[in-house]
């Protein structure tokens, strides 16, 4: 059972999430409406309201699905620094994809809508933070030979990911590969 109604059809769910992603990229957050999403997905507006309360909920659902793959930490394939650089490149690339644009729009909207801010922080951002701490923790442990303290690991995650978010969200510019490489080297050097 869903949060607000009967069991969802997976094909309709995917159609709605894809429609929301597409419309947001094409016309921006403000112009994306439930009516537009319903039309693009080929479903009734009532179907959407049965499963989601707002476009923010739809976009959060889409972001969760997309980020599980797009921001996933890969299995070890090289040295700790190589794996960390590879992950940071994935994060930078994610922001250039439709899913990254959804995240940017939701973060922007969260500055104006307290309920949306809480939903974003308590849902997606909290879950992604946990995934980031686990992924980074595994790399740091491979690099140093010991498990890092969780509080210290949180600071390392901030130092590592903060520059990418800053470049994208404050300046609206893509995070270049050199930024990721510099951040990875600095963070791992600080654990020596």
DSSP for 94-148, written as a single string = HTTSHHHHHHHHHHHHHTT-HHHHHHHIIIIIHHHHHHHHHHHHHHHHHHHSSPP
Global model pTM greater than 0.85:
yes
| Interval 132-148: pLDDT, tens | 999 999 999 999 999 99
DSSP classification of residue 52: -
pLDDT of residue 6: 55
| Interval 12-60: pLDDT, tens | 999 999 999 999 999 999 999 999 999 999 999 999 999 999 999 999 9
At 2, the pLDDT band (50, 70, 90 cuts) reads very low
Of all residues in the chain, the percent with pLDDT exceeding 70 is 96
pLDDT of residue 7: 61
| Interval 61-74: pLDDT, tens | 999 999 999 999 99
pLDDT at 190 over 70: yes
Tell me if residue 31 falls in helix, strand or coil. coil
Are 162 and 97 spatial neighbours (Cβ–Cβ below 8 Å)?
no
**Domains observed in the chain:** 10-53 (1.10.10.60), 61-190 (1.10.357.10)
pLDDT of residue 192: 84
| Interval 124-180: pLDDT, tens | 999 999 999 999 999 999 999 999 999 999 999 999 999 999 999 999 999 999 999
- Token readout for 122 is 């308590």
State the distance between the two ends of the chain, measured CA to CA, in whole angstroms: 49
pLDDT at 1 over 50: no
């Amino acid at each position: 059972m869903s949060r607000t109604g009967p069991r969802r059809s997976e094909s309709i769910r995917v159609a709605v999430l894809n429609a929301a992603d597409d419309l947001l990229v094409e016309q921006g957050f403000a112009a994306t409406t439930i009516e537009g999403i319903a039309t693009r997905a080929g479903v009734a507006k009532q179907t959407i309201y049965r499963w989601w309360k707002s476009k923010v909920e739809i976009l959060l659902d889409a972001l969760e699905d997309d980020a599980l793959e797009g921001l996933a930490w890969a299995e070890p394939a090289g040295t700790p620094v190589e794996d960390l650089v590879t992950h940071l490149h994935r994060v930078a690339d994610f922001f250039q994809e439709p899913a990254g644009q959804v995240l940017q729009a939701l973060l922007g909207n969260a500055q104006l809508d307290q309920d949306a801010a809480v939903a974003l922080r308590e849902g997606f951002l909290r879950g992604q933070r946990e995934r980031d701490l686990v992924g980074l923790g595994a790399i740091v442990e491979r690099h140093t030979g010991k498990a890092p303290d969780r509080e210290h690991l949180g600071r390392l995650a901030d130092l590592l990911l903060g520059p990418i978010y800053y470049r994208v969200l404050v300046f609206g510019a893509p995070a270049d590969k050199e930024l990721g490489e510099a951040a990875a080297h600095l963070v791992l050097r600080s654990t020596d």
